[in-house]
Amino acid sequence: MRQRAQKEVSKGEEVCLSISQWATLQIEKGVKKQKALALENLISNGIIQREETSMEEEVAGQRQGCFNLADILYFSKKGFEAIADDEVTRRFSSEELISWNLLSRTNVNFHHVSWQLTVVWITGILIRYCLLMPLRIGLASFSILFLVLATTVIGQFPNGRVKCWLSNQVQMTCAALGVRCLSGAVHFHNRENRPQKGGICVANHTSPLDVLILASDGCYSLVGQAHGGLLGLIQKSCMKTTQHVLFERSEMKDRHLVRKKIREHIADKTKLPILIFPEGTCINNTSVMMFKKGSFEVGGTIHPVAIKYDPRFGDAFWNSMKYSVMTYAFKLMTSWAIVCNVWYLPPMVKEEEEDAVHFANRVKAVIAAQGGMSVLPWDGGLKRKKVKESLKEEQQKKYCQIVIENGTVGNGNVH
């Protein structure tokens, strides 16, 4: 039955991709050469061609003394590049597509290129808004109502195996319904590496859907930010039957409490594995940003999971600075589908004499490599906050070290 469903999903993906490719060909035929070049620029990864070299390589490799006024040009160049095309800020906006997927994720009116493309585009709107959306809203409402009622009833049961089993079944069923209401097609790989009880599951973070997708294939205790509204209702319902650790991002005291609760949780090998997103915020699925070290300091076995969405069927990325939960849900409901791959990677443990930061970076690199994403050292907190003074000081120290290593400061070797 499951194999049959997967074959039907694969056929649906092939149909959507064929239509998308046809639409792209129509665009290329209908626009002029100048506009075609503009289209190529739109789908590029950036307008700045950066060299993959460090400060030490660029600055130290060109100097002959302890200090060189030409170093100012290096920092000016980096500043202009950041203003024109900031590689960090780009990770907080939707990924550009190679081909148009007949959705409204572009400011270019591609649907006016030809009448055939206009007909297909209007047909797609009617299918997505008049057929798929009502069905999806109905199924989503049913799954949320079922979750609230079922967890309320199960919450009255005494703690024990029966309550735990019923809770797991309800949450996995509701998660599977949630994936289905978005026409989700999830491809799980290496299921033998699925997180075990008493372990910590860490994954890259793109959307609240990450939780839904992973929960449809296994049960977890969640660690994350407490939300209000619809997400808050779902969190409160899940808390009635399963132990989760929720905290406010603005309350630093809670961080120490969270770390303590995680230690206590993983010490009990009968409890569900904890699911953590160390980036702390949603990234657009093109890269993996800095993993916060807190979840890597508590010990225990880390189970890495890589999640990679296919943006050709729908944009799964949630820009929480731009869209509310309801607006984001509406975008998902009117997409073609949510297609993604999930890789369960082999468990990892911290090596001797390895600190939490290096361990976190090692896990991050494994996840990024499997998902085909780039690795960025920057903190995802830059989505909401300014650059920390400590990061500025770190760059200043690097430059000072270069100056010291290439000569004695103040010896008169100024060029």
What average pLDDT values come out for the chain (415 residues) when binned by 10 residues?
52 67 60 46 50 62 60 72 68 73 59 72 88 93 91 87 89 91 92 90 93 92 77 80 72 68 81 89 90 85 94 86 86 91 95 89 95 87 71 75 62 45
pLDDT of res. 26: 60
pLDDT of residue 364: 95
Within 13 Å, how many C-alpha atoms sit on residue 50's CB side?
A: 18
Q: For the chain, first and last CA: distance in Å?
A: 75
Assigned token pair, 130: 């008049």
Q: Quick one: pLDDT at residue 380?
A: 78
CA distance 404 to 392: 19
Sign of the C-alpha dihedral, residues 267, 307, 315, 180?
Answer: negative
d(C-alpha 362, C-alpha 371), whole Å: 15
Relative orientation angle of helices 325-333 and 229-239, to the nearest 10 degrees: 90
Structure tokens at 24: 């792209």
Element (H, E) at 187: strand 185-189
**Per-residue b/e over 31-50, b at no fewer than 16 CB within 10 Å?**
beeeeeeebeeeeeeeeeee
Contact 298, 262 (CB under 8 A): yes
Which 8-state DSSP code applies to residue 50? -
The pTM for the full model equals 0.77
Q: What is the pLDDT of residue 299?
A: 79
Residue with tokens 């900031």: 86
Q: Are 274 and 303 in contact (CB under 8 A)?
A: no
The count of C-alpha atoms lying within 13 angstroms of the C-alpha of 190, restricted to the half-sphere facing its C-beta, is 15
